[in-house]
Structure formats: C-alpha cells, structure tokens
Amino acid sequence: MTVRWIRAVLAGAAALSLSLTACGGAGDGSSADTGGTVTVFAAASLTETFTQLGRDFESAHPGTRVVLNFAGSSALATQITQGAPADVFAAASPATMKTVTDAGDAAGAPAVLVRNQLVVAVPEGNPDRVGGLADLARPGVKVALCAEQVPCGAAARSALDAAGVRLTPATLEQDVKGALAKVKLGEVDAALVYRTDVRAADGLAAVEFPESARTVNDYPIVVLKHAGNPDGARAFVDHVRSDAGLAVLTAAGFQAPPSR
C-alpha cells in the first residue's frame, strides 16, 4: 500500500463527505437546517391555526420547537420595536406591520399570508335578532368592540362609519379574543370580530353584513431582522405560506390573498 494510494483514498473520502453535506444543506428543508427554537409573535386571531401549523412544523422538523406568542397586533409590534426577542411576526393588518418595518426590524419585505373579514358574533339562536350593524345601535343592545389601535377595532370603526351607524360600546378590548369572550360570558349581546374567530368558538353564531367587504384585513408575515434563529424563521414562514399551510388557514375561514 503506497503513500500515493492512501492519499487518493483520503481525498475521495473527503469529496464524498462534502457531497453528502451539500445534499443535506439549506435547500432541502431538513431538520438540520432548522433546529432549535423558532419564536413566533402572531395576531390573536391566528391562535387556532398557528397552533396547528406550529405542531405540523415541529413534526416535519424533528428537534425544532415553535414558541408562539399571541396578542393584539399593535401590542406585539410595540414589543418587537422595544427589543423583545422574536424570529417571526404575523400581523392582522398592514398598519401594525408598518410599525415594525418603519423601525427597521424586518428582514426583507412582508408577504401577505391571508385575509379576514368581520362579522357580528352573537349567542347561538341570535336572541336579540341582530340582522346587521344598525341593530347594534338599538337601545339595550350591549356591544363589545376592539380598541381602535387594534386591527379588528380599526376595521370595526371603518365598517360602522360605512354603514352610518353610531354606537357606544359597552367595552373596548385589546384583542379580538377579548371581545369574543365577552359574548361567550354573556356580558354583552354582540361583538364585532373576525369570521374565523366565530367559526373556532362554541356556542356562538356569525351574522354577516355587507359593509365587511369594504374592510377586509390583509395579514402580513415577515422574518425579523434580529431573529435568533433566522434559518428556522424562514423555514416556518415558508411552511405557513405553502399549499399545506394555506389549506389549514382557509379551512378555518381565512381567505387566500389575491396573488394566490
């Protein structure tokens, strides 16, 4: 066995090792690319769908853990701009996403993930016979709205203005789940919330109204500039934007964006 032959064998082994490494690289979506924790800040209305998508992502990428933080989009945007550690931000409106992009905290341009529309949430059976926005202003009807700085609150204000309806809400909540909870607990008779939230809730019904078509909310998503796990963040965004991810979202009542 000559020295030259040994060197040739070692060189061949090194080449094979490099080839195998390349095959397991960033382009194949393997768990080696995305290990560790992916921290996702997401609008409260994405709670059910992102919880499912997080589980699906972890199953497809063993060794990866998805940590989800749900709240009102405006509160999440403030947390991000103040330095809260996060890898991905999914907002319920372009306006709240703009808070993050204007602060230079996004890695690239956000992409629209899905769209959503408002409905009136009422108890099953609709005991107050709410048929549209005008009925919310009837004497004795207690209504919950989201605060106007929250996307569902801004959309509600636009819809009420479009219908020419003036009402004084019984409560202003910091996210859509809070407004929905008031109806479930019987503390109010109705709430303006997203269609998807009513579909995910037991004991409630949705009343559609035409003005909601004029206040459709786009949901943008982006990898954050200071992500601790940028590879995992990109893989998660790719996952939720995939055909399989969109199927989970549309099954919950979200609408695909126009570009899909």
Task: Tell me the pLDDT tens digit for each residue of 82-118.
Answer: 999 999 999 999 999 999 999 999 999 999 999 999 9
Task: Tell me the pLDDT tens digit for each residue of 45-68.
Answer: 999 999 999 999 999 999 999 999
User: What class, spelled out in words, does domain 118-214 have in CATH?
Assistant: alpha beta
Higher per-residue pLDDT: 13 or 204? 204
Kindly indicate the confidence band of residue 34, based on its pLDDT and cuts at 50, 70 and 90.
Answer: low
Task: Tell me the pLDDT tens digit for each residue of 123-163.
Answer: 999 999 999 999 999 999 999 999 999 999 999 999 999 99
Q: Are strands 64-71 and 118-123 parallel, antiparallel or unpaired?
A: unpaired
Domains 32-115+218-251 and 118-214 share a fold: yes
Predicted model pTM: 0.83
Q: Tell me the CATH number of domain 32-115+218-251, given options 3.20.20.140, 3.10.20.30, 3.40.190.10, 3.40.50.720.
A: 3.40.190.10
Dump the DSSP string for the chain: --HHHHHHHHHHHHHHHHHHHHHTSGGG--HHHH-EEEEEEEEGGGHHHHHHHHHHHHHHSTTEEEEEEEE-HHHHHHHHHTT---SEEE-SSHHHHHHHHHTT-BSS--EEEEEE-EEEEEETT-TT---SGGGGGSTT--EEEE-TTSHHHHHHHHHHHHHT-----SEEESSHHHHHHHHHTTSSSEEEEEHHHHHTSSSEEEE--GGGGGSPEEEEEEEBTT-S-HHHHHHHHHHHHSHHHHHHHHHTT-B--TT-
Tokens of 219: 């949901």
Kindly list the domain boundaries of the chain, sorted by start residue: 32-115+218-251, 118-214
Query: What values do phi and psi take at 136, rounded to 5?
Result: -70, -20
Rounded distance between C-alpha atoms, residue 251 and residue 246, angstroms? 8
Rounded distance between C-alpha atoms, residue 41 and residue 113, angstroms? 14
Sequence-ordered list of residues with C-beta below 8 angstroms from that of 230, at least 6 positions apart, any chain: 87, 107, 223
